[in-house]
Structure 1
Amino acid sequence: MHSWQSYVAIGDSFTEGLEDPGPDGAYRGWADRLAEIMAAGNPDLRYANLAVRSKKMRHILAEQVPAAVALRPELVSLCGGTNDILRPGADPDAVAALFEQCVRQLTEAGSKVVIFTGIDTKGVPVLQRLRGRIATYNVQLRAIADRYGCLVVDLWPLTALQDRRAWAEDRLHPSPEGHRRIALLVAQTIGVRTEQAWDEPWPPAQELVGLARHRADLRWAQQFLVPWISRRLRGVTSGDGLSAKRPELGPLCQRSRQGQQEKC
């Protein structure tokens, strides 16, 4: 078991916590949930979350990594590259090269880095076409982890996270239950004690088949795929103009959002 003193999360919407609204309506996500688990055993934990939705690896490298280095945390979680890999013609090797620069700077600053592989998109409409590209990227990430001694959260083979209930309606972000399980998985990876198991069996559920599945796929395309394509064509992202929800390293009971401090 390990009692971390400070933790900074960097990345994109996955780490910001999209599709996991908290009691106040603000996004919570697995990183906030993980910090809560860590703080249960160490009330002195200091935590910051610099992740912003839609950010690519070059943005994470240029904006978030220097900020994380300046905070000098004991632990940094880094998950990024999905927004690059989703683009047509993306080169997984080039994205991995940027990822390695992030890891190098963080480790040279003295932080232990925990990274994530991409999920297996087999059977997911549209996204399953990216399966080979994601697998190639994962190979590079594991090699980077070996070179720099990173902890690895390997999402690719986990059947417990391949259940459709682990993912929100947009099929890109975890559901609240998915975020909860990922937080428990990361806690296990970094050596933090938990009372629950991330891979507890899902209760039985009726699978969508035939016409019902076709209708669900069509509804997903109309609500999420078409707007995403529209934003790409217009050169805008859902993260434009947004800043980190928790840019300062501090006690968990303090949340910095738009320059205001809220205490528990």
Structure 2
Amino acid sequence: MPIPAMTEQSDPLCLSEVTAAALLFDAPWRRFGVVGDSLSAGVGDPTPGYTNKGWADRVANVLQRVCPDVQYLNTSEFGVTTARTVAHQLDRMAEFGPDLLHLPCGPNDILRRKPDFDEIEKTMRRMYDLAARTRALLTTFTLGRAYVVPTFPDWDERIRAMNAITRRLGAEYEAVVVDMWNHPVNDRDNLLSEDRIHFSTSGQAVMATEVVRQLVYMLSSRTSE
């Protein structure tokens, strides 16, 4: 007898929207903002059995279930670098006035022939400086190891270097860093979209769950202090 295909409801790495909202019942955030690239946007191919929705929209839906008055703005653009995010998205986001703000983690910055990691870190620091002025709680991801660009033989080193920058700045600015580098979802055969870069909607569902889990952990840590 064939084993039934996993669905969002049976996925052990996913929380339902109702459960996620219950865990965030005392969440204080009312203005959720997202800037960056296609990873921030939650781009990905549909997966049978999963709602066709990106991680950011999923998190916004959870927050709106907690409080219907929550406002959500996602200004992310496909293919942009951190520098372009700084130049074209942060002014608009500052006007929005988020109290929860997600920042990109540089996947497009390392697609150059020879990325300058010192310059990348300076640009990311500029982004964090501007984002911190909103006084929002900042969140970000590390890049998963399933994200592979075969064109570059040193790709693994690039990912590790980029993730190191993200973790370093995240710690300095007290951001919530959702670490996807070695998450078990990376081992799933159906994780990547046809482009072999973006997580499919099954991966988006897991990423949304991880954001919620980290926000819950952060809130509980502050309460216990």
- TM-score band, normalised by the shorter chain? 0.7 to 0.9
Deviation at residue 128 of structure 1 after TM alignment: 6.5
Alignment of 1:20-31 (within 5 A): 20=45, 28-31=53-56
- 1:214 match: none
Q: Does 1:88 align with 2:113?
A: yes
Deviation at residue 178 of structure 1 after TM alignment: 0.8
Match of 1:150 among 175, 185, 198: 175
Q: Does 1:76 align with 2:77?
A: no
How far apart, CA to CA, are the structure 1 residues paired with 2:30 and 2:210?
19
**Cα deviation per residue 1:148-173 (whole Å; 9 max; x = unaligned)?**
11110111111223323121111111
Match of 1:12 among 17, 37, 47: 37
Higher share of residues assigned strand: 1
**Cα deviation per residue 1:207-256 (whole Å; 9 max; x = unaligned)?**
xxxxxxxxxxxxxxxxxxxxxxxxxxxxxxxxxxxxxxxxxxxxxxxxxx
Q: Does 1:188 align with 2:213?
A: yes
- 1:99 match: 124
How far apart, CA to CA, are the structure 1 residues paired with 2:97 and 2:143?
27
Query: Is this contact kept in 1: 2:33–2:102, CA < 8 A?
Result: yes
- 2:144 match: 119
Query: Is this contact kept in 2: 1:122–1:131, CA < 8 A?
Result: no
Q: Percent identity?
A: 27
The runs of 5 or more residues in structure 1 that have no matched partner are: 22-26, 193-264
- 2:61 match: 36
Task: Kindly report structure 1 stretches of 4+ aligned residues shifted beyond 4 Å.
Answer: 121-128
- 2:13 match: none
TM-score in terms of structure 2 length: 0.76
Query: Is this contact kept in 2: 1:17–1:28, CA < 8 A?
Result: yes
Give the match's secondary structure for 1:76.
strand
Deviation at residue 37 of structure 1 after TM alignment: 1.5
Question: In structure 1, what residue type is equivalent to 2:112?
Answer: R
Give the match's secondary structure for 1:164.
coil
- 1:166 match: 191
Query: Is this contact kept in 2: 1:93–1:137, CA < 8 A?
Result: no
Query: Is this contact kept in 1: 2:105–2:143, CA < 8 A?
Result: no
Deviation at residue 48 of structure 1 after TM alignment: 0.6
- 1:54 match: 79
**Cα deviation per residue 1:101-137 (whole Å; 9 max; x = unaligned)?**
1111111221111011122248874466311011112
Query: Is this contact kept in 2: 1:167–1:175, CA < 8 A?
Result: yes
Q: RMSD in angstroms over aligned alpha carbons? A: 2.3
The runs of 5 or more residues in structure 2 that have no matched partner are: 1-23, 47-51, 218-225
Give the match's secondary structure for 1:183.
helix
TM-score in terms of structure 1 length: 0.66
Question: In structure 2, what residue type is equivalent to 1:76?
Answer: L
Question: In structure 2, what residue type is equivalent to 1:30?
Answer: W
